[in-house]
Amino acid sequence: MKRSQINAAIRRMEGLLSKYSFSLPSFCNWTPDDWKSKGHEYDEIRAAMLGWDITDYGEERFDEMGFTLITLRNGLSGSEKYNKPYAEKLLMVEDGQYAPMHFHWNKMEDIINRGGGNVLIRVYNSTSEGGFDSDRVKVLSDGREYFVAPGTQVRLSPGESISIYPRLYHDFEVEAGSGAVLLGEVSMCNDDKNDNRFYEKLGRFPAIEEDAAPYRLLCTEYPQAR
């Protein structure tokens, strides 16, 4: 991705957050120059990779596959110092974008439509070999339990949510024409390095072409404290 694309996506998400009156912690507003003066008192942000994030799954088709997100809080598995057992994220999925099929080995999460358009979440049970199971899928949504055929897309309008339990395959996209969606994610501790199982082999972080100065640093770019 070009840095200019990343900058533009972050600004669009800031606009969406403002529209729905969602205020961010101060570290999400720091500039690259601000980061130069941040010492060890902010090591939790660095270690837990809090803040802005972009994924294009290494496919370089961000307008079609990928989204913009912010990790607001997170713990580190096995860490005594950063041992929070929970995480919270915000995601912006824009019209035409797609998050590909995957499950989590251990993490349970709730995905919540915080505002905007409608999101469609397709679900499958996984087989022991990592394929799609043919059994009906249990859906847990806002206190309701019901079953759907494998491959069904569950539609979440603003305010609605779905619980994604371990080994439940899911992908998601915006319902065409309904507009960008602000998603919330409340979950167990998030571990992108070890807990994701994509149905097709994909990357996670983009290769960046520096065609502009960064507007915000991504969570993979923070300088070490002096």
pLDDT given at position 164: 98
Selected from 3.40.50.2300, 2.60.120.10, 1.20.1070.10, 2.60.40.1890, the CATH number assigned to the domain covering 3-198 reads 2.60.120.10
Q: What parts of the chain have a pLDDT lower than 70?
A: none
Residue with tokens 């570290």: 27
- b/e burial code for range 108-134 (CB count within 10 A of at least 16 → b): ebebbbbbbbbbbbbbbbbeeeeeeee
Task: List Cα–Cα distances, 201 to 53, 57, 114, in angstroms.
Answer: 20, 9, 30
Note whether 219 and 71 are within 8 A (CB): yes
Backbone torsion region of residue 166, taken as left when φ is above 0, otherwise alpha when ψ lies between -120 and 50, otherwise beta: beta
Q: Tell me: the pLDDT tens digits for 86-99?
A: 999 999 999 999 99
Residue with tokens 């997170």: 74
pTM of the predicted protein model: 0.95
AA identity, residue 137: V
Q: Tell me: the pLDDT tens digits for 182-208?
A: 999 999 999 988 899 999 999 888 999
Strand ranges (DSSP E) for 130-208? 137-141, 144-148, 153-156, 161-164, 168-174, 181-188, 196-198
